[in-house]
Amino acid sequence: MERWAVAMSGGVDSAVAAAVLAAEGHEVIGITMNLWPTWLPPSDTSSRTCCGVSAVEDARAVARRLGIRHYVLNMREEFEVSVITYFAEEYARGRTPNPCIACNQAIKFSLLLHKVTALGLDGVATGHYARVAYDEASGRYHLLRARDARKDQSYLLYGLTQEQLRRLRLPIGEHTKGAVREMARALGLPVADKPDSQEICFVPAGSYHDVVARFRPQALRPGPILDCDGRPLGTHQGIARYTVGQRRGLGLAGGEPLYVVAVDQERNAVIVGSAQDLLCDELTASQMNWIAFPTLPGERRVTARVRHASRDVEAWVRPGADPSEAAVRFAEPLRAASPGQAVVLYDGDRVLGGGIITRVGTRAFARA
């Protein structure tokens, strides 16, 4: 019998993950991480966030139903440092962060995994829609897309190491979302029909500017809006309020539609251009994590994704000048890739690896 900690968010997916492991005969311990920011009201009852007070109560109710132990771990300080501060800092740098990826890497599969293995448990299970498989020929663990393509979350997990994959279970990766809800109903779990969380957990009101204002207020200083040739067109209200691809809220009158094509921290400037200027032919990524092999052996054809909800595109990847870097060239121009986002590379269902975009080769910069 193995002993697994299940990261229970209060949602249906992690609840069923715990139920599956318990049905397999393992000892299951439910753990809910208290990540709720100290500056937000403690009486949150939103069902659309994954770490509020209601989430803890829902996870506790599921644990009672399954007859497993349940604990709450206070990780608020670590979460604020590793995720929330990072989130604000990236916007202050004119980049577009993904806080879920940061949470997975710094909290769930680093801090939490370390804590539970130190207690003698085999590892951590979560309700992510993805799969882990071991390849005897290469001696490596592989991360695969979920069976349910609409819910696949492998993009968010590209940073997992071999040791982390060895100690990870993803019990619902073989199931569709509909099947997971049916399993929850059959088991009488109280969260069977609970809506999926939608908002960033520390931005329950949907305004991330408040978070940036608290941690990096300088990112909300007004500055110039420039066209791709450096001509001033207007004034912005802080670079953290603008992301690549944005059209609305620029406050520019008349003429052809203009979009944010870049955010320049050094000049505190927002650069705008046409839809054509948004097209990206290539990019450079750093902090590369390779799952399928120790390092990228050479140039190869892949499919690439630059946002969790975007489609895959055909591309080629080659090693960068530094072992931690890679260059990605797209078979067809890609729209609105942004520094700070993750680019994740696939071979069919298999995640090869991924990294953080540092430079984007857009038509705007090529013209300049």
Active site residues: 103, 201
Strand arrangement, sheet containing 232-236: 232-236, 223-227, 269-273, 259-264
Residue 234 CA to residue 24 CA, distance in Å, equals: 62
Residue 336 CA to residue 102 CA, distance in Å, equals: 21
Tell me whether residue 230 is exposed, middle or buried, using C-beta atoms within 10 angstroms of its C-beta: 0 to 12, 13 to 18, 19 or more.
exposed
272: left (phi over 0), alpha (psi -120 to 50) or beta: beta
β-strand pairing of 259-264 with 269-273: antiparallel
Q: Are 346 and 358 in contact (CB under 8 A)?
A: no
Helix (H) or strand (E) holding 213: helix 209-215
- Residues forming beta bridges with residue 31, ordered by sequence position: 7, 71
